[in-house]
């Protein structure tokens, strides 16, 4: 059995390029009032490979053994880049609460948008 490690590595790399995106993991950029929110992810990967050997005995029989290869990938949402005008903030999702921590801030953001809109309407 031939191990085509370079071919396998290319296929895995292509898969990561197409699948390890924020759009695939937690969604695309979205707008919330005056805020633009961009999800941010962390990608980690590891690869391992193997090999084998064979020997020819005095009786001309062959003996040998081989080993395999493996790969792993971890994709984790870590937060959101939030912009308003020229201001940019990072809202981490946190390890304890995960993605839910970012969404817990959404009501506060909406409340601030409504307050700002109300003040603008009163001033105009």
Any idea where the domains of the chain sit in the sequence?
5-54+62-123
Torsion sign across C-alpha atoms 100, 105, 111, 117? negative
Q: Which pLDDT score is estimated for 67?
A: 79
Mean pLDDT score, 79-107: 75
Q: Which pLDDT score is estimated for 104?
A: 67
Determine the distance from the C-alpha atom of residue 65 to the mean position of all C-alpha atoms in its chain, rounded to a whole number: 37
Tell me the C-alpha distance between 39 and 45, whole Å.
20
Q: Mean pLDDT: which of 20-29, 41-50, 85-94 is highest?
A: 85-94
The answer on pLDDT for 21 being more than 80 is no
Distances (CA, A) of 4 to 10, 42, 48, 51, 91: 10, 29, 13, 11, 43
Do residues 67 and 52 make contact, with C-beta atoms less than 8 angstroms apart? Answer: yes
């Amino acid at each position: 059995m031939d191990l085509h490690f370079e071919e396998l590595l290319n296929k895995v790399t292509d898969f990561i390029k197409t699948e390890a995106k924020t759009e695939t993991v937690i969604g695309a950029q979205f707008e919330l009032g005056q805020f633009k929110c961009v999800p941010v992810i962390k990608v980690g990967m590891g690869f391992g490979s193997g090999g084998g050997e064979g020997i020819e005995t005095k009786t001309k029989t062959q003996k040998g053994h081989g080993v395999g290869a493996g790969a792993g990938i971890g994709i984790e949402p870590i937060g959101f880049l939030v912009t308003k005008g020229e201001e940019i903030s990072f809202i981490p999702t946190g390890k304890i609460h995960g993605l839910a921590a970012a969404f817990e801030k959404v009501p506060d953001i909406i409340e601030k948008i409504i307050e700002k809109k109300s003040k603008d309407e009163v001033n105009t």
